[in-house]
Amino acid sequence: MWQMVRGWEVQHLDPLKDISAKYPTLALATHLQGLGYQAAVNEPWNLLTPRYNRIGSPAFSEGC
């Protein structure tokens, strides 16, 4: 799963570079940076939240 998500991340970043080059505004750059922070924070939060990582379930260790 970790590798699959990293593949999606790479596929997502390439179009963002093109869009940023086509529309070089501070507002867009700030928005895209915020989306990146949100995505990066979501992964560790999911690993620490019992709702997504219950006791007795297989521990997530890929990529760690």
Question: What pTM was estimated for this model as a whole?
Answer: 0.50
Higher pLDDT, 21 or 59: 21
Write down the pLDDT at residue 54. 65
Which of 7, 8, 5, 2 shows the shortest CA–CA distance to 59? Answer: 2
- With bands split at pLDDT 50, 70 and 90, how would you rate the model's confidence at 58? low
- With bands split at pLDDT 50, 70 and 90, how would you rate the model's confidence at 44? confident
Write down the pLDDT at residue 24. 92
Taking only the tens place, the pLDDT of each residue in 4-34 is 777 777 777 888 888 889 999 999 989 988 8
d(CA 31, CA 11): 18
d(CA 48, CA 53): 7
